[in-house]
Amino acid sequence: MSALSAFFPSAAPEAQRPATRDTPWLRWSLTGVALLFVAGFLVIPLTAVFAEALRKGAEVYWAALVDPDALAALRLTLTAAVIAVPLNVVFGVAAAWAIAKFDFPGKSFLTTLIDLPFAVSPVIAGLAFVLVFGLQGWLPPEAQAELLAPAVARELAAIPGLGWALGGLAEWLANPRIVFAVPGIALATIFVTVPFVARELIPLMQAQGNDEEYAALTLGANGWQTFWRVTLPNVKWGLFYGVVLCNARAMGEFGAVSVVSGHVRGETNTLPLHVEILYNEYQFAGAFAVASLLALLAIATLILKSLIEWRLTLNREQNL
C-alpha cells in the first residue's frame, strides 16, 4: 500500500476515555497551546483575507469583483472545474470498479500511478503539458490545427447558424491551441485532480465487498442496473466527498495552471492567477477581494465535508 493512500482523512471518531488519564494540568496546557495555535495559524489568515478585502469599503470590494477581467477569470475557473470534475468522476468510478471489484496482476502499481500527481510538483505537471503541446513540443500548434481544424471546423462552419451558436468554440476550432489557452488549463487541472475521486471510492468499495452486486446479478439485474441501483447508492456519499475535494482543488489550482496559462488578462487567467496579477500590481484590495471568493469556496468545502462525514458516520453506525 502506498504512503499516499492515507491522504484522505475519515471522520473524527469520538474521543475515547482511557482508564489511564493524563493529569488535568497536562491536559489543559496541551489543549490550550494547541487551540491558540489553531486560532493563530488558521483563523487569522482566513479572517485577514476578508478584513483586507473590505478595508477600503464595500464599493471598492464590489468594483474589484465585477471588473471584466475578474469576471472573465471567474468564468474560466468555473469552466476548468466543469471540465475537470465530471471527467474525474467518470474516471474515478471506472478505476474504483476495476480495482475494488476485481483482482488482477499489477493492481498495486496501478493504485500508485493514480496517486502519482500528489508527488509531482504542480509546476512540473504544467511543464510536462507545455512539452507535449507547446511550440517545440510533440504536437505543436500547427499539428493541432492540421489535426482538428480542416476536418471539424469547416464542416461546422458550413452548417448555417451553428457557427454563431458555437461562438468561441468555432473560433477555437479554426485556430486550435492547447497550451496557453483554455484546453491546456483544463488538462493541467485534470492532472492535479486525478487522485481525488478514485482515492475516495477505492477503499470504500473494497470495504463493501461484492456480495450485494452478486445478489443483484443472481436476481436478474444486468450490469448497468447493478451499478445504478446497488453500487452507486452504496457509495454516493463517498463519491460526493471526493467531488467536493476535487472541485476545491480544481478551482484553486495555481502552479500547474500558471505554467500553461500564458497569462492573457480576460482570456487565460483563472481566479488564483488573477489574484497574483493584482498583487504584483500592488492592487492589494482587489487581490484580497478576488481571494475572498476563493476563501468562501474553501469555507463551503469545509462545511460540506463535515456534513458528509457526519452522514458517513451515521451510515456506518446504522450498518453495525
Partner 1 sequence: MTSRKVPEKLIEMTKENLAPRQPTTATTGLSRFRRSRRVLPGFLPTLGGTLLFLSLIILLPLAALAIKAADLSWADFWMQISDARAVATYRITLTSALLATLFNVILGVWLAWILTRYEFPGRRWIDAAVDLPFALPTAVAGLSLATLLAPNGLIGQLFAPWDIKLAYALPGMVTAMVFTSFPFVVRTVQPVLADLDPQVEEAAAILGAKPRTVFLKVIFPAILPAVLAGATLALVRSLGEFGAVVFIAGNLPFQTEITSLLIYTKVAEHEYEAAAALATVVLGAALAVLVVMNTIQGKLYRRLHG
Residues 242-261 that bind partner 1 (CB under 8 A): 245, 248, 251-255, 258-259
**CB closer to partner 1 out of 126 and 238:** 126
155 near partner 1, rule: CB under 8 A: no
Under 8 Å between Cβ of 114 and 194: yes
Instruction: Find the shortest distance in angstroms from Cβ 158 to partner 1.
Output: 30
**CB closer to partner 1 out of 95 and 235:** 95
**68-76, 124-132, 145-153, 156-164 -> range binding partner 1 (CB under 8 A):** 124-132
Instruction: Find the shortest distance in angstroms from Cβ 134 to partner 1.
Output: 7
Using only C-alpha atoms, the chain has a radius of gyration, in whole angstroms, of 24
308 near partner 1, rule: CB under 8 A: no
Instruction: Find the shortest distance in angstroms from Cβ 76 to partner 1.
Output: 14
Instruction: Find the shortest distance in angstroms from Cβ 140 to partner 1.
Output: 12
Q: What is the Cα–Cα distance from 300 to 248, expressed in whole angstroms?
A: 9
CB-based burial of residue 78 (10 Å sphere; 0-12 exposed, 13-18 middle, 19+ buried)?
middle
> Could you say which of 110, 148, 149, 170 contacts partner 1 (CB under 8 A)?
110
Under 8 Å between Cβ of 250 and 85: yes
Q: What is the Cα–Cα distance from 239 to 71, expressed in whole angstroms?
A: 30
> Could you say which of 36, 82, 131, 264 contacts partner 1 (CB under 8 A)?
131
> Could you say which of 128, 197, 201, 204 contacts partner 1 (CB under 8 A)?
128
Contacts of 40 (CB under 8 A, 6+ apart): none
* Distances, alpha carbon 15 to alpha carbons 97, 265, 317, in Å: 34, 50, 16
104 near partner 1, rule: CB under 8 A: yes
Q: What is the Cα–Cα distance from 239 to 277, expressed in whole angstroms?
A: 35
Contacts of 196 (CB under 8 A, 6+ apart): 88, 92, 242, 245, 246, 249
Instruction: Find the shortest distance in angstroms from Cβ 59 to partner 1.
Output: 21
**Binding to partner 1 in span 180-209, by CB under 8 A:** 187, 190-191, 194
Q: Which positions from 269 to 288 touch partner 1 by CB under 8 A, shown as an x/- string?
A: --xxx-xx--x----x--xx
* Distances, alpha carbon 161 to alpha carbons 164, 166, 170, in Å: 5, 9, 11
**CB closer to partner 1 out of 49 and 168:** 49
**27-35, 65-73, 148-156, 162-170 -> range binding partner 1 (CB under 8 A):** 27-35
Instruction: Find the shortest distance in angstroms from Cβ 80 to partner 1.
Output: 13
Q: What is the Cα–Cα distance from 307 to 310, expressed in whole angstroms?
A: 5
**1-9, 60-68, 161-169, 232-240 -> range binding partner 1 (CB under 8 A):** 1-9
Give the residue among 234, 197, 210 at the shortest CA–CA distance from 318: 234
Which set of grid coordinates corresponds to residue 201? 471510492
Angle between helices 271-280 and 68-101 (to 10 degrees): 140
**CB closer to partner 1 out of 172 and 284:** 284
How many residues make contact with partner 1 (CB under 8 A)? 110
User: Reduced to 3 states, what is the DSSP secondary structure of residue 91?
Assistant: helix
34 near partner 1, rule: CB under 8 A: yes
